[in-house]
Structure 1
Amino acid sequence: MAYYVIAGKLTCLNTTHALHIAETLSLRLPNFHYRRILKSDYDWPIWLDQLNSTNNWHETCCPLAWKEVGQMGGKPHLIGNLGHFWEYCFDYYGIQSWLSKTDLEKIKADDALMHTSGNKTSSEPQKISVTDANTHPMLELVIYELQQLFSPSTLEIKLYDANIPDDEDTDVFMLETLESYQVSGKSSPQSIVLVSTLREALQNCDVLIVLGDYRRFGFEFVKYAPILALRDVCFKC
């Protein structure tokens, strides 16, 4: 399977047109998958220079299209500029497109709004709370996976465990926890904080991860399992 990539400047009408065609094909063809890379006028030449250097290309046009065979993020196979992309779409899919400048401007405005909203959302800190953090062997894997899902620079993790000794020195315990659970070779989240109460862990958190053992007993029905788990968490609060 091939995955297509359309890269260009956010303000470029040709980029808008290429993305419109790619989106149309993805909606009509089950095996057509694509992703978009949009850059500002300032970032585009810098990014394009790095792309050319990495792939030994010599492209200067906007937009730029290529396909990745096998999996998304695989080895890129250059298609070319907008004209090459049109030829490719016509040869493979028999599709032609014409849009007025007015229509392209409207689509470009929508794309710019979506891009701005997406950047704003991705830049906001993601607050993740993890309970039963001190005793569960899966914590290291959880922290590792969270770093793959979210940007480490915007990730905040709060760790809570009811079994933490009350007389444990907080600073020493935090350092030991960070050293113990930091994944080798990976950047740490912006902050990993230990909290002493479940109420603190739940406050303003976007995602709650419960690592406790909530296996169903013989007398408990499956449909009640989520309620029983929630009951146990609430009783600790």
Structure 2
Amino acid sequence: MPYFVINGEPHCPNYAHALVVAQYLSEKLPNFIYKKVEMNGVQWAEYVHDLNKQNRWYIARGPIVWKEINMWGGKKYLIGGLSEFWEYVYCYYGLESIIPRADLQKLASDNLKFYEEHHQHSAQRQKEKDVRNITIYGPGSFENNFLLSELVDVPNLSKSRGVHFKLFNQHCAQSEKHRELLEDNAEYINELRKFGAHDIATIAKDERDAVEDCDVFIYLENCTKQSDEDEDTWLDRCYKKMLQLADTINRVAKRTLLIILANPGPTCFMATCLVDTCTKIKLSNIVAVSAHKGLPYVRLVSEKTGVPACKMSAPPVWGFVGLHCFVDSRNIVFKADMLRPYERALRAPPGSTLALGTIKSELRKISYMLTTEEDELAREVENRKTTIEMRLERPTMIGNIRALVSLIRLWFAPKRSDEIICLGVCSDHSFQIPAGVVFSQPVMLDEKGKWTPYSKFPLMSDDTRKHIEESIEVSNRVLDKFNIFKAKEEDTLQYKLYDYSVEQGG
């Protein structure tokens, strides 16, 4: 079966005439298949020159028609220009086509208009592909400015034409104040003109616009418990928010969308709701920021032990963050400077100027220096947090944003890092955590860019295991109440996490 290729300039009447005839034949004859190749100006001249050189043809003007036997991309059998194409069509199909000159000019004009619109649309789509689209959902004024100024400086986050932020707050439709705040945020960051003339930040019209064409979706909406709510009412409100968001994601989101929940509230519960209801995206792309829970402990432990905070690692954060979590402050690792003495140190006279040894650095656990009970540390951290929030009259967000930016730096780094961080991810039954539940635990980034639980992380004590079990019990109780997949039915959850991901191409 022959495949026909019709080449020409979009403004050429003869080319437009050949396309009309080819379209008519393809509609009437199932075995007549064609495609068109159209170029303008210098591109067309260079294209014709290359065709003549490759095939030893001698064609000066279009249209140019050839056929390929059995498959596209095969050997070209030249038919010729428009006259030769008419002769071929008449001999094989008995078709004659006579179109007045005025109609031909109109056909050529319409074809040129379609070509220009298609070319413009293709160019626009290419520009969009060269820009990283990031949506920030539900930001406040101060947090937004701080986060945007941090993100624009993250290496490798932007593509060749930079990065574009969409700001969205669902209260904008009802509140002019929220709308003005977002406009101020966008104006602030656009003044930087970080990536050239185009705006860095715009305001999304609605939730669909916020999700569509998005590469990274950052959820910052305040979902803390209100004073007049009980736990069931609070969680039901959060659950409904996630159902609505999941519906939008399933309809318009990219398959590769990354979702990061860094909001105040039951983040692991909300992320688990998305894992249960999002069918379009990879489940491993849904994570909940949790490392910020350990940051206040670093400062407090530094005050109590005298070890500078800059020499300490963040403590492991375990649990169903937002409802029950445990910060393992005794498992903080710090860099200690140790004196390794020479033998002469035992017999050197007082005032000797000779070196008595060398100083070596090694990593140690802070537990042997920390005398304060963990419950007392947790109370002090909570009291400080409460005092700060009373003065600010809002939840503290600096820690969330710091942890969020650090996560994005690692995720988009050119080389995979072997750094271990704490993050809420879909569990794979490591540490006896039910598979499929989004649970804060030590994780590493694998070769495919997926955050996976680091099962070799040492659990320091039975007390740590007890706290992890308490968090598991809380997650089981809450998920069962909302009829989200049963955390105790391991086989079902293993299917949910693995088989379902394989079916979806994950």
TM-score range relative to shorter protein:
0.5 to 0.7
Residue 130 of structure 1: how far off its partner (Å):
8.4
Q: Name which one, 1 or 2, has greater alpha-carbon Rg.
A: 2
- Contact kept, 8 Å, 1:11 with 1:41, in 2: the verdict is no
Q: Which residue of 2 aligns with 1:85?
A: 85
Which one-letter code corresponds to 1:113 in the other structure? K
Change over 3 Å in CA distance of 1:176–1:119 after alignment to 2:
same
What is the deviation of 1:44? 1.4
* Identity in percent: 31
What do the CA deviations read for 1:126-161 (whole angstroms, capped 9, x no partner)? 536489xxxxxxxxxxxxxxxxxxxxxxxxx75442
CA distance in 1, matches of 2:74, 2:60: 22
d(CA) in 1 for partners of 2:214 and 2:408? Answer: 20
Change (3 A) 1:163 1:9: same
The Cα RMSD (Å) is 3.1
> 2:286: which partner in 1?
162
* 1:173 match: 411
Corresponding letter in the other structure for 2:33: H
Q: Equivalents in 2 of 1:79, 1:214: separation in Å?
A: 53
User: More displaced, 158-167 or 60-69?
Assistant: 158-167
Q: Which has the higher contact order (CA 8 A, sep 6+)?
A: 1
Query: Which residue number corresponds to residue 45 of structure 1?
Result: 45
- Which residues of structure 1 form unaligned runs of 5+? 132-156, 183-211, 216-228, 230-237
Partner of 1:72: 72
What's the TM-score, normalizing by structure 2? 0.29
Partners of 1:10 and 1:41 within 8 A in 2: no
Give me the whole-angstrom Cα distance separating, in 2, the residues matched to 1:18 and 1:66.
Answer: 12
SS in structure 2 at match of 1:85: helix
Q: Is the 8 Å Cα contact of residues 3 and 69 (structure 2) preserved in structure 1?
A: yes
TM-score (norm 1): 0.59
Amino acid at match of 2:110: D
- Partner deviation per Cα, 1:36-84 (whole Å, 9 max, x = no partner): 1112133211111112223332221211000121122322211111111
State the number of aligned residues. Answer: 162
Distance in 1 of aligned mates of 2:48 and 2:41: 11
Equivalent residues of 2:258, 2:286 under 8 A apart = no
Q: CA 1:181/1:92 → structure 2, altered by over 3 Å: closer, same or farther?
A: farther
Q: Determine if contact 1:4/1:66 at 8 Å carries over to the other structure.
A: yes
1:170 to partner: Cα distance: 2.8
Distance 2:4 2:74 in 1: 11
1:201-220 CA-partner distances (Å, limit 9, x unpaired): xxxxxxxxxxx7684xxxxx
Distance 1:67 1:120, change over 3 A: same
Q: Name the counterpart of 1:121.
A: 121
**Alignment partners' CA distance in 2, 1:171 and 1:43:** 42
Matched with 1:55 is 55
Answer yes or no: is 1:13 the counterpart of 2:13: yes
What is the distance in 1 between the residues matched to 2:45 and 2:69? 26
> Are residues 181 and 12 of structure 1, via their aligned partners in 2, closer, same or farther at CA, if it must alter by over 3 Å?
farther
Matched residue type, 1:162: I
Give structure 2 stretches of 5+ with no counterpart.
130-212, 218-255, 260-284, 292-402, 417-446, 450-496
Matched AA of 2:411: F
Structure 1 runs (4+) greater than 3 angstroms displaced: 126-131, 157-160, 163-169, 212-215
Shift in alpha-carbon separation, 1:171–1:54, aligned structure 2, 3 A: farther
- Does residue 29 of structure 2 align to residue 29 of structure 1? yes
Deviations along 1:1-32, one digit per CA (max 9) or x if unpaired, are 21111111122111111111111111111111
Is the contact made by 1:64 and 1:81 (CA closer than 8 Å) also made in structure 2? yes
Q: Give the Cα–Cα distance (whole angstroms) in 1 for the partners of residues 38 and 31 of structure 2.
A: 23
